Amino acid sequence: MKVLALNGSPRKEGNTARILRKSVEEHEDVDLRYHDLVDLKIRDCISCRHCKTHDSCSIRDDMTIIYQDMRWADAIVLASPIYMSAETALLKAVVDRTYALVASAEGGPGKYRPRLAPGKRGVALFTCGNPKGDETLVCVRDRYYQHFAFLGVAQAKSIIVPGLSPGMDAMETVKAQAAVEEIKAFLRG
């Protein structure tokens, strides 16, 4: 299986990165492409709509790597801490730019067809400090089910690991361990 993992945390060794790596690196027969988004230069979408008439984005930056990897991958795993009730700006820029991965379809405004090959799996992994974040931040979790569906991703999973703080070892928590096992099982299919 070809897996693309995107770490949307500015901390390359933080809780989000640790859980993400544990979820994707310990698989047999996995070809992994892993990116720390903090190391990439990805501009915000400028809403030029170039991508609605072309199979590309008008902005030339490191998002071109992500587009190639998303097309290549069988599974896409997005990860981010939740800051101020939302994913990081690093991940949000990528999500907004995936608008280029859907084409306008017949039927008028708001009708789109995915440009990604069918059959992909998608995982959204979120971490947060709120001990009840898995209950109170479901709007973030649920939005990613919608995002994956918009991209034509066949099967999706969205998980929030609550109660984490910088400096702690997330993998010592039961919820982080459970999230890792849930993601591994989902990726195995």
CATH of residue 10: 3.40.50.360
Domain coverage including residue 151: 2-188
3-class state of residue 104 by DSSP? strand
Per-residue pLDDT of the chain in tens (189 residues, 90 and over written 9): 999 999 999 999 999 999 999 999 876 788 999 999 999 999 999 999 999 889 999 999 999 999 999 999 999 999 999 999 999 999 999 999 999 999 988 877 778 899 999 999 999 999 999 999 999 999 999 999 999 999 999 899 999 999 999 889 999 999 999 999 999 999 988
Any bridge partners for residue 82, and if so which?
A: 87
Give dist(CA 85, CA 95) in Å, integer: 16
Residue 94 and residue 110: Cα distance in Å, rounded? Answer: 21
Taking the C-alpha atoms of residue 157 and residue 45, their distance in angstroms, rounded to an integer, is 25
Domains held by the chain: number: 1
